[in-house]
Amino acid sequence: MKRKNTSPNTVKNYLHGLKHFVLWLDVPIETVTYRKMSSYIDYLISQRLKPKTINCYLNGVCQFYHYLTDEEGMQIVNPVKKPNIMKLPRGLPKHLKDEQIEILFDHLKGYRDRAMFMLMLRCGLRVEEVAHLALGDIDLKRRMLFIQDGKGAKDRIVYISNDALYALLDYLKVRTANKVRKVFLVEKGPLTGQSISIRGIQKRMEYYARKTNLKISCHHLRHTMATQMLNADTDLSTIQDLLGHNSIRTTQRYCRVSNLKVQRDYYKAMEVIMQRTACNRNSESD
């Protein structure tokens, strides 16, 4: 995984899933069968894990067996096959309504939290991209952020809206001056002054979710940005570049939730259709 320049967070998740599997296993690794993997899936289901989480565990095990055969030269059969992979519901990307955004930001405490979540909402940043954002990645004059090593080890440039810029400037004015390069720092506890972790940011969002009784996550803010831009008639290719999607198909998922654009397109098309129908009737009566 390191040879492929996989992110440290991805490596951590794979190792966690593999450890989970090995601790459950009661037979040698090389003797695991398809039936044994089915029992493992049944166990994961009994633990009330979500299908997406189960698939992540299975994918980690599958890649490990590929490693054993390709790198270690072991003559074994990979017990993870396609039938093992659970079918996922193709749910719509979840976004926040305007009133939910207002409630959330009314409850935010401090300049740091407002700046972090405003960058997610206005710039479409992932939580790990906010956590890894460095001071040198900010270009205030040109109102740009340079996102390094985003998902898929891709770099990209995103732009900063007025409200996000003001939120970021307000935070930078009160940010503790130290040698830490990362923008967002821990403000309480023994780790004060160190860069805030991905989990630390997620915990802040979980705190506000409890305070507001809203079902929200950091990724909901990114989805909201994409949906709002699509409703503002932004080209899909532009949204794809800003979000850092590899495939335009990923971005097209937002078309299914962009109700305002669908509504406008529908009524616009119906007006044309009804006008044509009326013209045809008039010509026939003549």
What are the catalytic residues? 126, 151, 219, 222, 245, 254
- Joined tokens for residue 66: 């590929």
Q: Which residue has the tokens 């506890």?
A: 189
Contact 92, 256 (CB under 8 A): yes
Rounded-to-integer distance, Cα 145 and Cα 119, Å = 10
Contact 254, 230 (CB under 8 A): yes
